[in-house]
Amino acid sequence: MKIQSAEFIVSNTNVDKCPKDLLPEYAFIGRSNVGKSSLINMLVDRKNLAKTSGKPGKTQLINHFKINDKWFLVDLPGYGYAQVSKDKRQTFQKFITAYFLKRKQLVCIFLLIDSRLEPQKIDLDFMRFLGENEIAFCIVYTKSDKLSSSKLNKNMQVYQQELFKNGWEGIPQTFVTSATAKTGREELLNFIEDINTEVQQ
């Protein structure tokens, strides 16, 4: 897929105010500071489409970007260690949950995982929530340029073992990415294009 246009449409905290277009949506979410904004910018080949920050918790709204006038990329607030108040974290959780459960245009969630870290309880809990609610998702390992291929493979195996231990019968589709090295860009875009073709038939 070639990115010809990437347009910011709207930011809000109310799922009922999301775009009315019946275009497929792909939501990106992960623990705070997982590299989500950098990955989104790499994916659409724009420097500042999604705002990057060294301070966790920068994204605090549901952000819709229309790509090629054919689908929406949705940038969601990070969860976990965001430097925001407890009340704000609870607010995030409420409107993000509403988005996941009520948004009919949502086709797939890309759950971002820092490839350098061992499995985090908060990520595993979030996967469990998605599974219990039958919400389709893929795992996207980020920052793969920060460790050796052998260490990366070992960490991914540990994650798979943890998922099986937690009762998963199969492993969601996974992607290995690096915003710095632009690894995984073509694989992700091709995956989205394939689903768009199926959805729009």
Q: How does pLDDT run across 30-60, given as a tens digit for each residue? A: 988 899 999 999 999 988 787 654 444 445 7
In terms of DSSP H, where are the helices of the chain? 36-44, 86-102, 121-132, 149-165, 185-199
CATH number for region 6-199: 3.40.50.300
Which carries the bigger pLDDT value, residue 89 or residue 21? Answer: 21
CA distance readout (Å), 55 to 33, 142, 153: 8, 17, 29
Read off the tokens for 77: 């607030």
pTM, to two decimals: 0.89
Q: Where are the domains of the chain?
A: 6-199
87-110 pLDDT, tens digit per residue, is 555 555 777 888 999 999 999 999
